[in-house]
Amino acid sequence: MPMPPTARALRVCCCLAALASCGLPRDSDHTLDRIRGGELRVGVTEHAPWVTVRDDRMDGIEPRLIEELARGLGARTVWRRGAEAQLLEALHRRELDIVAGGLTADSPWKGQVALTRPYFTDTTTGRTRVLAVSPGENAFLVHVERFLAPRERRGGETPDVGER
């Protein structure tokens, strides 16, 4: 027997209300809660202009973005330098919260870590630059993506480091 339209609409509303109240998205390891007022553990691999190191200080487009993200969370950044593969393995093991180093959306690691929305699209090649976060840390990923959305840029192959 077909369900009357009002009953169907009521059922849909109840389902939506249940979903809205269930606290999604969630972090399996409570990453976002741990970072707020604490520390943001950042893995970086040098890849100019995205990440550069000057006098043992991180600089470039991505460290600037990450510092701004951390400030918004009331967190301090703890930097860990290394090779891309080493850092992404550490991210997968949840020893880091985020990895920067000029990663692209077609990274071979996209099955092992969560890649953010693109924050930069190269209009000459179509390649997009992303950051990586731990898999399953959905609340943190959503927070990072909401942070990146209004900062998304398009441009030539090597953007001016000072444009942020």
Q: What is the 3-state secondary structure (H, E, C) of the chain?
A: CCCCHHHHHHHHHHHHHHHHCCCCCCECCCHHHHHCCCEEEEEECCECCCEEEECCEEECHHHHHHHHHHHHCCCEEEEEECCHHHHHHHHHCCCCCEEECCCECCCCCCCCCEECCCCEEECCCCCEECCEECCCEHHHHHHHHHHHHHHCEEECCCCCHHHC
Q: What is the pLDDT of residues 29-81, one digit of tens each?
A: 799 999 999 999 999 999 999 999 988 899 999 999 999 999 999 999 999 99
Identify the pLDDT of residue 32.
97
Identify the pLDDT of residue 25.
79
pLDDT band at 23 (very low <50, low <70, confident <90, very high): low
Domains, the chain = 24-163 (3.40.190.10)
